[in-house]
Amino acid sequence: MSATVDTIKQQISENDILLYMKGTPQLPQCGFSAQVVQAMMGCGEQFAFVNILDNPDIRAELPKYANWPTFPQLWVKGELVGGCDIIVEMYQNGELQTLIKEAGQNRAESAE
């Protein structure tokens, strides 16, 4: 297994809420990443992110590891939630807020 895949696994295991995106939450570099960031901000929980534009090795390996070809990718509690369309739809019907709040509560409880 490559060092890049090890890095991806470590990032996913260390962050309850992790977004692989193009750019940063403050400055998204694509429209899909921007939409997902807006949905995530609407959930009111902090989340970690990885700018795949700064990490070409992760950009190349993550789609194979996740079996998901596109970015952004949202991971919650070690599970791939999905990409932009799924996340925006989940946000619109309230599922994303519930999922993110639960992950945020778990993180707060484990920090105590």
Q: What's the CA gap between 26 and 9, in Å, rounded?
A: 25
Which residues line the annotated binding site for glutathione?
A: 22, 59, 71, 84-85
Q: What angle do CA 53, 58, 62 make, to 5 degrees?
A: 120
pLDDT at 108: 63
Nearest CA-CA partner of 69 in 88, 81, 56, 82:
82
pLDDT tens for residues 7-39? Answer: 999 999 999 999 999 999 999 999 999 999 999
Give pLDDT, residue 100: 96
pLDDT in tens, 45-87: 999 999 999 999 999 999 999 999 999 999 999 999 999 999 9
pLDDT at 106: 73
Contact 23, 52 (CB under 8 A): no
**For the whole model, what pTM was predicted?**
0.93
Which residues are documented as binding site for [2Fe-2S] cluster? 30
Three-state secondary structure call for residue 6: helix
Extract the annotated binding site. Answer: 22, 30, 59, 71, 84-85
- Spell out the domains of the chain, with CATH numbers in brackets: 3-107 (3.40.30.10)
Rounded to the nearest 5 degrees, what angle is found at the Cα of 103, between the Cα atoms of 98 and 105?
95
